[in-house]
């Protein structure tokens, strides 16, 4: 007998129809580092006379390859759909912004007008939004209808940056997807203000974002201004009773709402009753409602079911009502619920007895005190973080303690370590004419590859910072740069070590301190940036961050950079 995957079918039905012509490299698992690697995609784009869509999902894209694809996109103003989800697996997070920016530049140069932009499952975090900002603020996204940013690890900061980019002009989004991003209250509140201005949203999905009733209340106000809303998914946030009351206040204005997913939202009986009251008598034409695993008591469940089945056509209209994981009582109670809901009822997870989840008395665990405790927990834990399941992809800058084998090299290590800990001309001179050789030998004894790369970066910067005061320091820095590049076991660690050292991103180790003179570091960098040994991807990444951060850098550093245009302009 033939079988089919219901989840796959639902996914297909939910996706908008694909235009007839375009280029699709989805799921090919291509590793695209260089322009040569990207040539097959470039050729396909160039050969497509009417590029309505471009799908690169499931490949991994580097900065140089992104520039090559961007160049090809410049000839296609007709592009409408960009599916760039799951496109940076294995990339360091500092590679992603310039790659995104490059793709955006190609579409901007073409004068394209996107309808759909999908960047889901790319763990770029807040820093990635910087690469997107120019695109989102450009005319390319002026007619954008769908923005999909699911599972990007945005955090609070990323949510705020996204809201700022979207608020740059009037938007008419129909679909906004941003689940699993740890937006929390502040990120959700920032986006709520943008939603309120839009007034055009038909689908909002923000599950698993750590949002409590404060953020839910802000979103509820925004919902009131989007009367066409028909799909609302806030699964696995902490709506609670207060949040439910805020949503209940918005429901009378949402006459088109057909699907609600508030599963795992700690509604409890009080929250469920608030929703039931709003459902009843407001002529809502719900088709699907998921309130599973909310610690709702038996009587409150009955009130909910009574409210949504009040209208005579309810059994024909309702397609899926999920109450599993609440206190539904015994078999008789469940039968009563099933009789009212008909085939739409989903009352069990398939585990446990009919009496599972029963807690008596119903209302004891639904007090304001318990909700206040939830708020305290929220405040204690509110900080930007990426979802645990994408931490493997989102390369986090990690400073490990460097452990050295001191046997037989006490004198040499003492001089080298003294210079690296306190870079001064005096300490540099103590190393003599073989400074580069001694530092290289010292650093190669570090066993951890990424820690070794970080140590080389710091050695380069220590020497570079002294370049304005010492010719020997300039010579040393010029000798150490190619060693730094050559000794790196993983290319992705190069930018992760240089960017914080140059003051372009924050180092995640709070004890990390810049102990070198940054203007000198930029002067040396300008001299080596276009050398043949310098990786093109690293060069593009550095230029991207220098260009984007230039207006916010301290004056003395900004002036030093502007003396060397090669640092922020492509030749």
> How far is residue 525's CA from residue 486's CA, in Å, rounded to a whole number?
16
Q: Cα torsion for 194, 199, 205, 207, to the nearest 10°?
A: 50
The answer on pLDDT for 521 being more than 60 is yes
Backbone angles phi, psi at 364, to 5 degrees: -65, -30
Please name the residue that has the structure tokens 């997913």: 261
The confidence score (pLDDT) of residue 381 equals 40
**Distance between CA atoms of residues 67 and 50, nearest Å:** 21
Task: Please report, rounded to a whole number, the percentage of residues in the chain having pLDDT higher than 70.
Answer: 84
**pLDDT at 359 > cutoff 70:** no
pLDDT band at 385 (very low <50, low <70, confident <90, very high): very low
Task: Read off the pLDDT band of 373 (50, 70, 90).
Answer: very low
Whether 400 shows a pLDDT value over 50: the answer reads: no
Query: Residue range 395-415: average pLDDT?
Result: 41
Tell me the pLDDT band of 365, cut-offs 50, 70 and 90: very low
315 sits in the region (left: phi over 0; alpha: psi -120 to 50; else beta) called alpha
Res 3 pLDDT > 60: no
pLDDT on residue 526: 94
Q: What is the mean pLDDT of residues 82-89?
A: 94
Q: Is it the case that residue 274 has pLDDT exceeding 50?
A: yes
The conformation of residue 92, written as its DSSP 8-state character, comes to B
In this prediction, residue 261 carries a pLDDT of: 98
Contacts of 41 (CB under 8 A, 6+ apart): 23, 25, 32, 56, 69, 72
Three-state DSSP string of 492-508: HHHHHHHHHHCCCCCCC
Residue 445 CB contacts under 8 Å (≥ 6 apart), including other chains: 404, 405
pLDDT at 513: 81
Asked which of 112-116, 151-155, 323-327, 395-399 is least confident by mean pLDDT, the reply is 395-399
Question: Alpha-carbon distance 481 to 478, whole Å?
Answer: 6
In sequence order, which residues have a C-beta less than 8 Å from that of residue 404 and are 6 or more positions away? 413, 442, 445, 446
pLDDT(125) > 90? no
The per-residue pLDDT for 474 is 94
pLDDT at 509: 60
* Poorest-pLDDT segment among 38-52, 126-140, 289-303, 482-496: 482-496
What percent of the chain shows pLDDT beyond 90? Answer: 63
Q: How confident is the model at residue 278 (pLDDT cuts 50, 70, 90)?
A: very high
Domain ranges of the chain: 410-567
The DSSP code for 343 is G
Q: Dump pLDDT digits (tens) for 171-193.
A: 999 999 999 999 999 999 999 99
Mean pLDDT for all residues in the chain: 85
> Lowest-confidence range among 19-28, 112-121, 256-265?
19-28
Say if residues 204 and 231 touch (Cβ distance below 8 Å). Answer: yes
pLDDT at 508: 63
Contacts of 183 (CB under 8 A, 6+ apart): 154, 155, 156, 158, 159, 191, 206, 209, 210, 211, 215
What is the mean predicted confidence (pLDDT) over 135-161?
94
As its CATH architecture, domain 410-567 has Alpha Horseshoe (1.25)
pLDDT at 10: 43
pLDDT band at 390, cuts 50/70/90?
very low
């Amino acid at each position: 007998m033939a079988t089919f995957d219901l989840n796959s079918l639902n996914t297909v039905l939910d996706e908008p129809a694909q235009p007839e012509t375009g280029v699709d490299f989805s799921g090919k698992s291509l590793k695209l580092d260089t322009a040569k690697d990207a040539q097959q995609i470039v050729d396909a784009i160039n050969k497509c006379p009417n590029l309505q869509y471009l799908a690169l999902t499931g490949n991994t894209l580097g900065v140089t390859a992104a520039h090559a694809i961007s160049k090809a996109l410049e000839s296609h103003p007709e592009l409408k759909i960009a599916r760039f989800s799951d496109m940076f697996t294995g990339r360091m997070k500092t590679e992603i912004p310039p790659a995104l920016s490059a793709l955006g530049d190609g579409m901007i140069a073409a004068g394209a007008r996107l309808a759909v932009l999908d960047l889901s499952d790319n763990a770029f975090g807040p820093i990635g939004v910087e690469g997107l900002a120019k695109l989102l603020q450009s005319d390319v996204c002026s007619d954008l209808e769908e923005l999909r940013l699911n599972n990007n690890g945005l955090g609070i900061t990323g949510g705020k940056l996204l809201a700022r980019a979207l608020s740059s002009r009037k938007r008419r989004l129909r679909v906004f997807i941003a689940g699993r991003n740890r937006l929390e209250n502040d990120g959700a509140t920032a986006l709520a203000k943008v939603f309120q201005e839009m007034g055009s949203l038909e689908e909002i999905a923000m599950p698993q974002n750590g949002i409590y009733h404060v953020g839910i209340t802000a979103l509820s106000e925004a919902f009131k201004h989007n009367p066409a809303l028909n799909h609302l998914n806030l699964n696995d946030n902490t709506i609670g009773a207060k949040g439910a009351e805020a949503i209940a206040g918005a429901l009378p204005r949402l006459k088109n709402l057909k699907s609600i997913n508030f599963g795992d939202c700690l509604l409890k009986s009080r929250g469920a009753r608030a929703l039931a009251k709003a459902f009843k008598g407001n002529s809502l034409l719900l088709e699907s409602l998921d309130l599973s695993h909310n610690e709702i008591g038996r009587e409150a469940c009955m009130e909910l079911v009574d409210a949504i089945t009040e209208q005579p056509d309810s059994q024909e209209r309702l397609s899926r009502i999920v109450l599993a994981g609440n206190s539904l009582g015994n078999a008789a109670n469940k039968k009563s619920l099933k009789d009212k809901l008909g085939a739409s009822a989903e009352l069990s997870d398939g585990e446990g007895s009919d009496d599972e989840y029963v807690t008596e008395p119903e209302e004891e665990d639904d007090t304001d005190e318990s909700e206040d405790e939830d708020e305290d927990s929220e405040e204690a834990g509110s900080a930007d973080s990426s979802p645990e399941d994408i931490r493997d992809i989102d390369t986090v800058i990690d400073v490990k303690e460097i452990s050295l084998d001191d046997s037989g090299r006490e004198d040499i290590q003492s001089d080298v370590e003294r210079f690296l800990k306190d870079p001064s001309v005096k300490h540099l001179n103590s190393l003599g004419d073989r400074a580069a050789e001694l530092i290289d030998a010292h650093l190669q004894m570090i066993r951890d590859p990424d820690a070794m790369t970080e140590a080389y970066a710091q050695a380069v910067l220590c020497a570079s910072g002294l370049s304005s005061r010492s010719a020997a320091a300039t010579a040393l820095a010029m000798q150490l740069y190619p060693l730094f590049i050559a000794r790196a076991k993983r290319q992705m660690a190069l930018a992760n070590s240089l960017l914080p050292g140059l003051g372009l991103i924050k180092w995640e180790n709070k004890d990390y301190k810049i102990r070198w003179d940054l203007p000198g570091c930029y002067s040396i960098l300008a001299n080596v940036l276009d050398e043949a040994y310098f990786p093109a991807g690293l060069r593009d990444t550095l230029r991207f961050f220098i260009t984007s951060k230039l207006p916010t850098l301290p004056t003395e550093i900004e002036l030093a950079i502007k003396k060397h245009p090669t640092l922020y302009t492509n030749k």
